[in-house]
Amino acid sequence: MRPLDITAIEQHARRLRSAEMQRVQGLMSAQMRLYGQLLGATVLSVVLHISGGLFRLFSWNPQPHRYLKRCA
């Protein structure tokens, strides 16, 4: 039976662990990018909806138009 090279086994295990951690980190960063894009689109949609409502609210003018005064 040949002797086990424990240091070589440990180094190989560390390399495998490092590669797996980098793979998982890449997957998580891709998902976080997607979630960020979805969150940004949602926030933009909400802001546009609110701004449309605020525009209608502040552009309301209760005074009669000038051309209606001339016609009467």
Res. 71: pLDDT tops 80: no
Residue 23's pLDDT is 98
Q: How far apart are CA 40 and CA 47, in angstroms?
A: 10
Q: What is the CA radius of gyration of the chain?
A: 32
pTM: 0.60
Res. 72: pLDDT tops 60: no
pLDDT tens column, 10-56: 999 999 999 999 999 999 999 999 999 999 999 999 999 999 988 88
Res. 59: pLDDT tops 90: no
Q: How far apart are CA 16 and CA 34, in angstroms?
A: 27
User: What is the average pLDDT across 43-72?
Assistant: 81
Place of tokens 């933009």: 44
